[in-house]
Structure 1
């Protein structure tokens, strides 16, 4: 049964309190219409957010709660994950503040696992100050991959532009060895399934970018495209998945070729994210596809240089909330259709 809009509970991990995360969260919900789309619950501390709110001269009203079942629709709920005060020095890298970012994120993830929230939207963290004896992950995605069911895949989304990654936070000198037939098959299938259940695309078309310049030029500039990527893509295509490539990455976006496909899969991080961030104009969203739960985040970092100055653009975070809600609804519809295929005819 589809939930009413305001009953969709959006959990928000607060990210690095010295960065712009709190600012983009508060700015997003300054628009009261957002509370007609969902019920937000921020995993943090109401006193520290009230301090940040005052510093930003924000007019939002915060509702502090100590238990998730105390949240109220129509309010910006703040779940007190900790009670003590936190010393902030906006715009600086602080390990102690990084600890609170992880407290927020871990608590929000547990609430997601326990079905206390419907979706999770994560504000930016600093990948350096979050490291500790109890948290040794490069970022959000890797931890979620461990805690949730499925295989996480980083997918950048803005409108009809969707770019997934075969490898994400991996040093460039390790990418070639990581591109195995097994990995390629798994990632393409994850993208295919996500396009169907998360984006309601019945027969998705997927493009895969080549690793080397000009896809290796027949082996002159590298053999990976001809030896691994191309035959694997052909095997997958022969079994009914509409996947094409590999395509030379240099002209793929400039020529507008990307517009012909429902998703593009890049072989490594910057190959996908540079064109994505160029084309998305600050409205892009980082979506973790392939998991049994829904998580999105803005496509930017902590932006220490503008933290606390009221200059942060909140559009990416707002789009992350929108996408999380859209995917949640799409998954419910997909589940209902799977249980009753006749519903497709009724539409």
Structure 2
């Protein structure tokens, strides 16, 4: 396994009119970050020079044209284009979406080829990135197609982990998507990630209900009784510590979540509203279930503050740390799987 300082962190630049460039610079202006990893930004030296001047950054970067030119311990910028890019902070621009996609495509290819160890994605605009090559509601679905595996949108901090049965699905369609097969796939993906990526030997997982009050015995919908409960019982029979469904309205306010290693919510806002309320600015979006490690900050492009120099980089920095830690945990887990007699080096 690589030492932490040699882990190569690929970073897609995201939407250049948003706060991605600013939070990347702010993260790596802290020179101690180079003790943990070697960053590779997929963009261009011209674009980074513009951003550096705009934000009065003192960061020094190493421009490269081929992935083999990466210098360990330096802030590397891989040139994915050579032309000048017109950046207008806070503006939605389809051309900027094209550059976000170029960066993401090249970073993903590098990840697939093992040229980088992990991928951290800066925020994209999910509308202006749409094209013939990108017809997805976000990073998660794109990376699931490119990398393979059963992807799970998994929001994490040190004290709270929330996965989603359905992610970018309209509320009116949520119940149609939640089937026994989907529940089993998502819960098993979460369970395996907790063991492999977070080194929890016997994960304990809570499942939130679909309807208010988990349906009140069918008064407010039958999905909880007819779909969730039987599937949870089946998973329990396999020896997994899966509990629920729990009424979502009181689950977090009562601190019940603290009794579990992770929570799986039925739909996007049911999980992300409490997650971001409890941890905004520190949370990380991790795509569990893939054969590679990808993380991102827990926020979007933030056009309303883009270019003003006031963006908070904490979530992006946490995303870098999380990617490194998960990579190391996964490497340790794989070594133990190959040689179960070998003791883990994890303290």
Q: Secondary structure at the match of 1:152?
A: strand
For residues 235-289 of structure 1, the C-alpha deviation after alignment (integer angstroms, 9 at most, x for no partner) is 1001101100000000000000000100100000000000000011311000000
**Superposed, which structure 2 residues align to 1:118-157 within 5 Å?**
118-157=117-156
**Superposed, which structure 2 residues align to 1:1-347 within 5 Å?**
2-344=1-343
Deviation at 1:32, TM superposition (A): 0.3
Q: How far apart, in 2, do the equivalents of 1:186 and 1:81 lie?
A: 36
Q: How far apart, in 2, do the equivalents of 1:164 and 1:153 lie?
A: 7
Q: Secondary structure at the match of 1:264?
A: strand
Q: Secondary structure at the match of 1:156?
A: strand
Asked whether the 8 Å contact 2:8–2:40 carries over to 1, the reply is yes
Q: Secondary structure at the match of 1:84?
A: coil
Asked whether the 8 Å contact 2:332–2:344 carries over to 1, the reply is no
Q: Secondary structure at the match of 1:131?
A: coil
Asked whether the 8 Å contact 1:23–1:312 carries over to 2, the reply is yes
Deviation at 1:346, TM superposition (A): 9.0
Q: Tell me the TM-score normalized by structure 2.
A: 0.98
Q: Please, which moves more after superposition, 136-145 or 296-305?
A: 136-145
Q: How far apart, in 2, do the equivalents of 1:5 and 1:176 lie?
A: 43
Asked whether the 8 Å contact 1:26–1:60 carries over to 2, the reply is yes
Q: How far apart, in 2, do the equivalents of 1:167 and 1:281 lie?
A: 21
Q: How far apart, in 1, do the equivalents of 2:3 and 2:145 lie?
A: 31
Deviation at 1:160, TM superposition (A): 2.9
Q: How far apart, in 1, do the equivalents of 2:175 and 2:195 lie?
A: 29
Deviation at 1:106, TM superposition (A): 0.5
Asked whether the 8 Å contact 1:50–1:62 carries over to 2, the reply is no
Q: Secondary structure at the match of 1:92?
A: coil
Q: Please, which moves more after superposition, 129-138 or 282-291?
A: 129-138
Q: How far apart, in 1, do the equivalents of 2:184 and 2:140 lie?
A: 20
Q: How far apart, in 2, do the equivalents of 1:296 and 1:111 lie?
A: 15
Q: How far apart, in 1, do the equivalents of 2:245 and 2:109 lie?
A: 39
Q: Tell me the TM-score normalized by structure 1.
A: 0.98
Q: Secondary structure at the match of 1:230?
A: helix
Deviation at 1:345, TM superposition (A): 8.3
Deviation at 1:133, TM superposition (A): 2.1
Gapped regions of structure 1 (runs ≥ 5)? none
Q: Secondary structure at the match of 1:107?
A: helix
Q: How far apart, in 1, do the equivalents of 2:295 and 2:171 lie?
A: 25
Q: How far apart, in 2, do the equivalents of 1:184 and 1:133 lie?
A: 31
Asked whether the 8 Å contact 1:286–1:297 carries over to 2, the reply is yes
Q: How far apart, in 1, do the equivalents of 2:149 and 2:134 lie?
A: 20
Q: Secondary structure at the match of 2:245?
A: strand
Q: Secondary structure at the match of 2:312?
A: coil
For residues 145-202 of structure 1, the C-alpha deviation after alignment (integer angstroms, 9 at most, x for no partner) is 1011211110000113110000000000111011110000010000000000000000
Asked whether the 8 Å contact 1:14–1:101 carries over to 2, the reply is yes
Equivalent residues, number: 346
Deviation at 1:123, TM superposition (A): 0.0
Q: How far apart, in 2, do the equivalents of 1:270 and 1:220 lie?
A: 23
